[in-house]
Structure 1
Amino acid sequence: MATLRVGTRGSALAVAQSTTIADRLARATGTDVELVRIHTEGDRTQGSGESLASLGGTGVFASALRTALLADECDVLVHSLKDLPTATHPGLVIGATPGRADARDALCARDGLTLETLPQGARVGTGSPRRVAQLLSRRPDLEVVDIRGNVDTRLRRVEEDLDAVVLSAAGLGRLGRLEAATELLGLGWWPTAPGQGSLAVEVREGDPDDVLARGLGAVEDRETRLVVTAERQVLAGLEAGCAAPIGATAVVDAGLLLLSATVYSPDGTGTVSSSHAVSLDDGPVEAQLVDVFEVSRRVVDELLELGAADLAPIGGGPSGGDPLGSAS
């Protein structure tokens, strides 16, 4: 492999994320690496005025990238994991899950305000149904405004016509803009999107040669794969899209994987939550994933028993297989 081609969206955040992974692949393989910028439907409709959810959710950003990978226009893709549907894509697998960044949401408000100190009726922008539900659950007096655009575009709205916006701390950090955050919202009371803060390196199934396999192995982080798989299995088990009003948080602590998930009604007036844990042995990741699937199934079953399907637009079917595919 003379040059390793890394496919990416053209946004500043996507390029920053892809550049980080490209640099790591180059160091691990000793191979030249180049970025291949791919325009997606989500990028083309940024100025359409339609909400991301109405356009089909965050999966609109992945489709064109995956088409390019299957067409051999690039060798690997770098995604924000929360942007990927949980179902595996035919012919593709997640070859590596790098170490996770900060999974929290960040409030970016004028005058250093926090969620608690925003004035009555403050205008807060977000394009996420989950964040809409969480904002209204905590502060039903807020006026939540649907917004689109890149990070800089959204932050400018705070200077123009909004009191605050909610963004991911990881995205702000990767762009060197974390100073814009006036409050980091704790995962204990504000769970974020399954997989938030994590990247996914996607490759063609059965394709990696020895060089690429070495690079993927250097990028892979086992703990990240376990926790994001647990979170995304909640979405898969509930048959919910990645834009559904669902928050999930998994952590590994003292050999235990702890998984919590909350389903919100779209208007924030109702919630149901479930938390379970599983002990992880020191075996191979494939064996640990079996336990991860089981604890995710328990969380899904309890959420459904508590009435999650009556709150949010979810299918509520049984959990499926590993949404991340093989750890090749």
Structure 2
Amino acid sequence: MATALRLGTRRSALAVAQSSQVARALSAASGREVTLVPIVSEGDVSRASLAAIGGTGIFATRLREALLNDECDLLVHSLKDLPTAQPPGLVIGAVPVREDARDVVVTRDGTPLNDLPEGSVVGTGSPRRVAQIHRRNNRVTVQDLRGNVDSRVARVRDGELDAVILAAAGLRRLEGTAADLQLEELGLAEWPTAPGQGALAVEIRDDAPDDFRAAIALLDDASTRIAVAAERAVLSTLEAGCHAPVAAHAALSGDDLRIHAVAYALDGSRRVGLDRTVPLLPGYARIPGSGKGADAADDANPIVRAARAGTDVARRLLERGAADIVPRESTP
């Protein structure tokens, strides 16, 4: 019997739910058992704000150390929390089909974010969401928020907060967590979300056996891989970390890729946005397994073309003034 594959995961309920989903899919694709290996990161034990403890990649660092040290065979990350610079020795083996990319407002009574009265307290740990909240309703107070999805939702249920902003994908993967509360879904056109939001990344060592890499590649969704390549290129080119006040969402429509990106001032007082649609090669995103070879610098590869389009969008944002309002990091 083949040795079980070891999937490294954070201990949070959401991380375990995401990892379990991938484990089941990988087991079905490879015919091998997949076991979860719990790993504790600095981001899990620190109660400080994400900005104070480094923000970018705080949840990924310890996991990647475990993978490089052969404590596990693969990792599953929330792609929106993953730095855009790929570390030596590791590759993204697959990006499965994306879950809902939207944000949702969680309240007790269903009052829309726009209509929350003065003095209402809204919780979030995301600078991007802080800026968007200020733009949507400058009467409310925003409170920095850490903790897992359950604890954030509980603070609304208990009346400590009037609302929290969460990713729709996380609530879907933790079905029932906010069943007794009200959800307001925020449209991506007016409220674009973080690059990679709703998507997962399956990371492996670059020297992994060919049969293992092939099994991982079966989990890849070409349309998602193309879209997030564009989104993450926006973030990388802006030199903004994954917790910066930057939103980028890309989606395929036929053989065209539409990219919507916005950079915000931290206080929401300014925004610089751009929409762009670029053509990709006909039919590519409908070919099973076409996400493979995503790192090849090939002009005919739509993943590379999507990344270049994202880079171009970011450069145009910089030309329009994004450089003046977005905090920049040396290691995005």
Q: TM-score, normalised by structure 2?
A: 0.91
Other-structure match for 1:151: 149
Matches within 5 A, 1:81-100: 81-100=79-98
8 Å CA contact 2:120, 2:141 repeated in 1: yes
Other-structure match for 1:78: 76
User: Distance between the aligned counterparts of 2:304 and 2:91, measured in 1?
Assistant: 18
User: Distance between the aligned counterparts of 1:72 and 1:294, measured in 2?
Assistant: 34
Matches within 5 A, 1:34-183: 34-45=35-46, 48=47, 50-158=48-156, 159-176=158-175, 177=177, 179=179, 180-183=181-184
SS in 2 for 1:182: strand
Displacement, 1:58? 4.4
Given the alignment of the two structures, is residue 308 of structure 1 paired with residue 309 of structure 2, yes or no?
A: no
SS in 2 for 1:69: helix
| Alpha carbons of structure 1 residues 3 and 315: separation in structure 2 relative to 1, 3 Å | closer
Given the alignment of the two structures, is residue 273 of structure 1 paired with residue 273 of structure 2, yes or no?
A: yes
Greater Cα shift, 116-125 or 135-144: 116-125
Displacement, 1:90? 1.1
Other-structure match for 1:242: 242
User: Distance between the aligned counterparts of 1:316 and 1:35, measured in 2?
Assistant: 33
User: Distance between the aligned counterparts of 1:315 and 1:145, measured in 2?
Assistant: 24
Other-structure match for 2:306: 292
Displacement, 1:125? 0.3
8 Å CA contact 1:239, 1:315 repeated in 2: yes
> For 1:182-226, what per-residue CA distance to the aligned partner results, in whole angstroms no more than 9, with x for missing partners?
20110001010000000000000131331x223212211000000
Other-structure match for 1:9: 10
Displacement, 1:289? 1.9
SS in 1 for 2:263: strand
Matches within 5 A, 1:217-232: 217-232=217-232
8 Å CA contact 1:40, 1:62 repeated in 2: yes
Gaps of 5+ in 2: 285-289, 295-300
8 Å CA contact 2:233, 2:308 repeated in 1: no
SS in 2 for 1:219: coil
Amino acid at match of 2:11: G
User: Distance between the aligned counterparts of 2:107 and 2:178, measured in 1?
Assistant: 12
User: Distance between the aligned counterparts of 2:311 and 2:63, measured in 1?
Assistant: 30
8 Å CA contact 1:106, 1:181 repeated in 2: no
User: Distance between the aligned counterparts of 2:146 and 2:199, measured in 1?
Assistant: 21
The structure 1 segments of at least 4 consecutive aligned residues displaced by more than 2 Å after TM superposition are 177-181, 282-286, 314-317
Displacement, 1:112? 1.5
User: Distance between the aligned counterparts of 2:228 and 2:307, measured in 1?
Assistant: 11
Q: TM-score, normalised by structure 1?
A: 0.92
User: Distance between the aligned counterparts of 2:61 and 2:217, measured in 1?
Assistant: 25
Displacement, 1:52? 1.1
8 Å CA contact 1:237, 1:316 repeated in 2: no
Other-structure match for 1:186: 187
> For 1:104-151, what per-residue CA distance to the aligned partner results, in whole angstroms no more than 9, with x for missing partners?
001001212111221222100000010000000111111000011001
User: Distance between the aligned counterparts of 1:290 and 1:39, measured in 2?
Assistant: 34
User: Distance between the aligned counterparts of 2:313 and 2:64, measured in 1?
Assistant: 31
8 Å CA contact 2:234, 2:310 repeated in 1: yes
8 Å CA contact 1:76, 1:201 repeated in 2: yes
SS in 2 for 1:124: strand
8 Å CA contact 1:133, 1:267 repeated in 2: yes
Give the RMSD, CA atoms, in angstroms: 1.7
| Alpha carbons of structure 1 residues 242 and 181: separation in structure 2 relative to 1, 3 Å | farther
Displacement, 1:316? 10
Other-structure match for 1:199: 200
User: Distance between the aligned counterparts of 1:298 and 1:161, measured in 2?
Assistant: 43
Other-structure match for 1:24: 25
User: Distance between the aligned counterparts of 1:173 and 1:182, measured in 2?
Assistant: 12
| Alpha carbons of structure 1 residues 316 and 305: separation in structure 2 relative to 1, 3 Å | farther
Displacement, 1:234? 0.4
| Alpha carbons of structure 1 residues 315 and 217: separation in structure 2 relative to 1, 3 Å | closer
Greater Cα shift, 275-284 or 168-177: 275-284
Greater Cα shift, 26-35 or 170-179: 170-179
User: Distance between the aligned counterparts of 2:324 and 2:243, measured in 1?
Assistant: 17
